[in-house]
Chains A and B, each alone.
Chain A
Amino acid sequence: QKEVEQNSGPLSVPEGAIASLNCTYSDRVSQSFFWYRQYSGKSPELIMSIYSNGDKEDGRFTAQLNKASQYVSLLIRDSQPSDSATYLCAVNWGTGRRALTFGSGTRLQVQP
């Protein structure tokens, strides 16, 4: 059973639209959550972190966390072709399980 699950996509959205990326995780005691963006052939780049329930906004990005339902999502407003990449969700399980666990990623394609 995968601990962090993401739809592999591709998720295709038109330029200017809102892209919604979702991630579910298996352990209720998870403490911190991250979204990374990875362009083809490049390393992951941290774009958002979220630690408590609710929304966190940073520019065109909004991370949403719902611990009761065990999901975290990333919204990208006014999507641009340059947003086309794979988005990785990562979960830190907290004390005793320090390592980040990554989902397999969702490939986003923004059509001009």
Chain B
Amino acid sequence: KAGVTQTPRYLIKTRGQQVTLSCSPISGHRSVSWYQQTPGQGLQFLFEYFSETQRNKGNFPGRFSGRQFSNSRSEMNVSTLELGDSALYLCASSLAFAAYEQYFGPGTRLTVT
């Protein structure tokens, strides 16, 4: 079974731009969570989607948004990029909402200059 896939793997943007990251969960998984990982803050939860609905949201500004499609694929968007948004963005999938085991994709390394 294929794992979680994320595209693109690497991205360089300039301040003020916006970016869209994509995640395809493991086949049959319906829940997708997004995390930001930085050396200083570690792994921080952004949001979780299940059945095209956001079920939970972390403490990030409104510049960070996401959505989920009917095939469970998910996208996250960051508008008005700041230098501090440089991070590894990780997507994790699980079978269902409140199914606890999450499996991570390879991540998207975003660099904001």
- How far, in angstroms, from A32 to B101 measured CA to CA in the complex? 9
- CB-CB < 8 A to B106: which residues of A? 42-43
- CB-CB < 8 A to A45: which residues of B? 104
Cross-chain contact of B43 among A31, A32, A102 (Cβ < 8 A): A102
B58 within 8 A of A: yes
State the majority secondary structure of interface residues on B: strand
Task: Please state if A99 and B100 are interface contacts (CB–CB under 8 Å).
Answer: no
- How far, in angstroms, from A99 to B45 measured CA to CA in the complex? 7
- CB-CB < 8 A to A99: which residues of B? 33, 45, 48, 56, 58
- How far, in angstroms, from A95 to B88 measured CA to CA in the complex? 28
B66 within 8 A of A: no
Task: Please state if B100 and A44 are interface contacts (CB–CB under 8 Å).
Answer: no
B25 within 8 A of A: no
Task: Please state if A104 and B55 are interface contacts (CB–CB under 8 Å).
Answer: no
Given contacts A34-B101, A43-B104, A44-B90, A98 and B55 within 8 Å (CB-CB)? yes
What are 11 contact pairs spanning A and B, CB under 8 A?
A31-B100, A36-B104, A42-B106, A43-B88, A43-B104, A44-B104, A51-B100, A92-B100, A99-B45, A99-B48, A99-B56
- A residues contacting B by CB (< 8 A) are 31-32, 34, 36, 42-46, 49, 51, 88, 92, 95, 98-105
